[in-house]
Amino acid sequence: MEYFMEAMRRYADFNGRTRRKAYWMFILFNVIFSCVTGAIDYFTGTAIIGTLYSLAVLIPQLSAGARRLHDTNRSGWWQLLWLVPIIGWIVLIIFLAQDSQEGENDHGANPKEVELVVE
pLDDT tens per residue across span 15-34: 999 999 999 999 999 999 99
Q: Which residues, including other chains, have CB under 8 Å from residue 99's CB and lie 6 or more apart?
A: 20, 72
How far does Cα 85 stand from its chain's mean position?
19
Q: What is the pTM of this model?
A: 0.84
Asked if the model's pLDDT at residue 118 lies above 60, the reply is no
Nearest 5°: phi and psi at 108? 125, -170
pLDDT tens per residue across span 45-99: 999 999 999 999 999 999 999 999 999 999 999 999 999 999 999 999 999 999 9
Q: What is the pLDDT of residue 90?
A: 97
